[in-house]
Amino acid sequence: MEDGVTLDIGMTLDCADPAAQARFWKVALGYVDAPPPEGWGSWEAWYVDQGVPRDEWNDGAAICDPEGRHPAISLLKVPEPKRAKNRLHLDLKVSGGRRAEPAERTRRIEAKVAELVAAGATVHARYEVQGGVDHVVMLDPEGNEFCIV
């Protein structure tokens, strides 16, 4: 990048209910609420300073990896519903890969699946390989696909 600026990557998830989606994805990813921009003590203070109308304060949410290793995620309220399969999805890699023993790989995947079903996700499809679970396709509370691998 020119002038010493570095590239940072964030992700945005369009959704109907940013607060609910943020709660789900914090569980799924081990993320936390993103802090307000530097110089503001709260998001509310930032909204006021930026002139954001009060009725728009819940039109978005932001979550981040507490260790700063993975991309931040913004959740943005949009009026249109999800209509088709995602062209990009997240893989939550919990199994240890195909080098892990099939029984252990399956145990790790199923534990994460159970955690996320309890948080509001649904199982869409299961795929097996080498005598165990290879990956599980899940849907978040608004129907966005992601995989547990």
What are the extents of the domains in the chain? 2-77, 90-148
Average pLDDT along the chain: 93
With cut-offs at 50, 70 and 90, classify the pLDDT of residue 110: very high
With cut-offs at 50, 70 and 90, classify the pLDDT of residue 86: confident
The CATH architecture one would assign to domain 2-77 is: 2-Layer Sandwich (3.30)
Q: What is the pLDDT of residue 87?
A: 84
Alpha carbon distance 89, 23 (integer Å): 18
Lowest mean pLDDT among 5-9, 126-130, 135-139: 5-9
pLDDT tens by residue, 2-31: 677 778 888 999 999 999 999 999 999 999
With cut-offs at 50, 70 and 90, classify the pLDDT of residue 52: very high
Integer Rg of the chain from CA = 18
Q: In what order do the strands lie in the sheet with 72-77?
A: 10-15, 72-77, 60-64, 32-33
Alpha carbon distance 97, 32 (integer Å): 26
Whether 57 and 50 have beta carbons less than 8 Å apart is answered as no
- Cα 137-71-54 angle, rounded to 5 deg: 100
Alpha carbon distance 107, 133 (integer Å): 9
Determine the 3-state secondary structure of 109 from DSSP: helix
With cut-offs at 50, 70 and 90, classify the pLDDT of residue 140: very high
CATH number for the segment(s) 90-148: 3.10.180.10
